[in-house]
Amino acid sequence: MPDWRTLHLDDRIFSEPTADGHSLALWFPGKRDEAFQHWERVSTVPHTEFTVEPGITAVAAASVQAKQPIRGFFGKFLQRFQKPTEGRAWLLPTGDTAEQCGERRSDLILLWVEDKPKQLDEPWIKARWPECERSQKIGENLYLVFGIVPPTVSSTLEQAQASPRQTAERLLADARATGDRRREVSALTDLGITYLHEGSAQLALRSLDEALRNIRLLDERSEEGEIMGNLGLAVLRTGQPKPAMALLEQALTHARAANDQFAMKVSLERLGFAYAILRNPSRSLASFEEALSLARALADIRHEAELLWYLAIQHAEIGRREQAIASAQAAVEVMEKARNPQAAWYAQHLRRFRAGDSGIGLSTNEEAGPDSSPIAFLTSSLTASLWATPPAGMQGPAPPAGPGLLRMAVSAAKSMAKFLGSGLKTVPAATLQRRLRTCAACHHHTGLRCRLCGCFTNAKARIAHEQCPIAKWPE
């Protein structure tokens, strides 16, 4: 939070002194009639900051209306002997008192710029919050926006306690109860993805198919490509490669048409995975390579490391041992640079691969059983979780040696979560709240998942080394 004591406010606005300088209360003079001077008091709500986008921050605010009786000299003198008013009395910055009138409203946010080159103006605010009632400039790059419900801490923290599937089911029930078709499509997609993570391909298929049919009834269909990509994975899981590849290709076409680099990267990764399990390593390598270039261009180091590892698996599959080792080593180095504790897990598998060892003695998901805990979802991306068991009828389980050893590293989510144990450094509560609140206010957030990185934000936000793919989280 900036220090409000040093802010340059509009001359007509009075600020109320606060003890710590980290909260703000402002008085706005309103209309004046024969009997009263009207005022509006706006105060920030402590610990509710969130990032709207990199460099632009907001905090929840509340306002009350008050009226100050207009009195002459004798009126002011006699005021001392009058009975106190029934409403709450406020002390104005002028030293006079005013009586609260009307209800408190809490649908305001205060918005400011942290990075100087950025500028705020009313058209930008209106484009960002088309539903807002109005906005008011109150200082240099400082605006009050009325009619916005700020992201709430309680709901985001409640969500953080629940499993991803519980949250997806709740979001779906809420959307159906309110008849909101767009939110219903989003929740069906989330639910399908959680089923995919859990290995329930038929249930995933049902949810994602319903999401696809429903979105085609809406005017705005920007999420159609995303649904097709996930449906492609579900179809692939059920052992139908041809319709699966058609869906994955269509998802990529959608992403390219929208020039959405995040979606292109994800589609290419999935195609790479599909070609890999269909035993087409050259096309798999080409897809992973293109996805890797996009991950680097977007500075998405988490995905960069994953893609380098997938390239290593593919090189190993076709006997290019040296390239496999180089790629896997690069993946470990990227993880180490990002202070990702998973680096140790991958390094352990790479060591055994280099030594020509077998994977005997390393634990796998098959031994550990399915895991739907948030940490397992975090330590294993959707594609990673699919490496564990190849789709029905396509190929046998990977041997626990050679390329199989590299596959095991990505597929054993539960074992990895156990292996990492307390090695996953978590963030302090205040940082977690700000991250969750920032996600809750972000238009890339589905209510459960970040559409850009695909992560379940309730798990990801807790982990210190994790980052927002577009740098909205505070450092």
Nearer to ligand SF4, 54 or 93 (CB): 54
Contact of 416 with 345, CB cutoff 8 Å: yes
* 240 or 438: CB nearest ligand SF4: 438
Choice between 215 and 441, CB closer to ligand SF4: 441
Between residues 415 and 438, which has the closer beta carbon with respect to ligand SF4?
Answer: 438
> 289 by DSSP, 3-state: which?
helix
Given 164, 225, 272, 469, the residue binding ligand SF4 (CB under 6 A):
469
What residues does 111 pair with on adjacent strands? 58, 143
Binding to ligand SF4 (CB under 6 A) within 425-454 occurs at 438-439, 442, 444-445, 450, 452
Q: Which stretch binds ligand SF4 (CB under 6 A): 95-103, 272-280, 344-352, 467-475?
A: 467-475
Q: How far is the CB of 450 from ligand SF4 (least distance, A)?
A: 3
Question: For residue 303, what are the CA distances in angstroms to 6, 231, 384, 391, 462?
Answer: 41, 21, 11, 23, 18
CB of 469 to ligand SF4, least distance (A): 6
Closest CA to 68 of 81, 85, 44, 83: 85
Nearest-approach distance from CB 438 to ligand SF4, in angstroms = 5
Toward ligand SF4, which CB reaches closer, 227 or 452? Answer: 452
Whether the Cβ atoms of residue 386 and residue 273 lie closer than 8 Å to each other:
yes
Q: For ligand SF4, which is the closer residue by CB, 344 or 470? A: 470
Contacts with ligand SF4 in 232-251 (CB under 6 A)?
none
Cβ contact 42:63 at 8 Å: yes
Kindly provide the b/e burial profile for residues 370-383, where b requires at least 16 CB atoms within 10 angstroms of the residue's own CB.
ebbebbbbbbbbbb
Between residues 197 and 434, which has the closer beta carbon with respect to ligand SF4? Answer: 434
Q: How far is the CB of 245 from ligand SF4 (least distance, A)?
A: 28
d(CA 30, CA 261): 48
The answer to the question of residue 266 lying near ligand SF4 (CB under 6 A) is: no
Q: Whose Cβ is closer to ligand SF4: residue 54's or residue 69's?
A: 54
Question: Residue 462's closest CA among 438, 437, 423, 428?
Answer: 428
Q: How far apart are CA 40 and CA 461, in angstroms?
A: 37
415 binds ligand SF4 (CB under 6 A): no
Q: Is the dihedral of CA 313, 315, 320, 326 positive or negative?
A: negative
- SS3 of residue 78 by DSSP: helix
Closer residue to ligand SF4 in complex, CB, 281/469: 469
Please state the closest distance from residue 434 (CB atom) to ligand SF4, in A: 10
Stretch that binds ligand SF4, among 145-153, 219-227, 255-263, 465-473 (CB under 6 A): 465-473
- 56 binds ligand SF4, rule: CB under 6 A: no
**Is 470 a residue that touches ligand SF4 (CB under 6 A)?**
yes
Residue 281 vs residues 214, 317, 318, 365: alpha-carbon distances, Å? 36, 8, 7, 25
465 counts as binding ligand SF4 under rule CB under 6 A: no
Output the smallest distance, CB 474 to ligand SF4, in A. Answer: 11
| Displacement of CA 432 from its chain's centroid (Å) | 12
472 interacts with ligand SF4 by CB under 6 A: yes
What DSSP assignment string belongs to 305-357?
HHHHHHHHHHHHHTT-HHHHHHHHHHHHHHHHHTT-THHHHHHHHHHHHHTT-
3-class SS of residue 17? coil
Hey, which residues does 65 pair with through a beta bridge?
40, 101
468 is a site residue for ligand SF4 (CB under 6 A): yes
Is the CB of 35 or the CB of 471 nearer to ligand SF4?
A: 471
Interface residue list for ligand SF4 (CB under 6 A): 438-439, 442, 444-445, 450, 452, 457, 468-470, 472
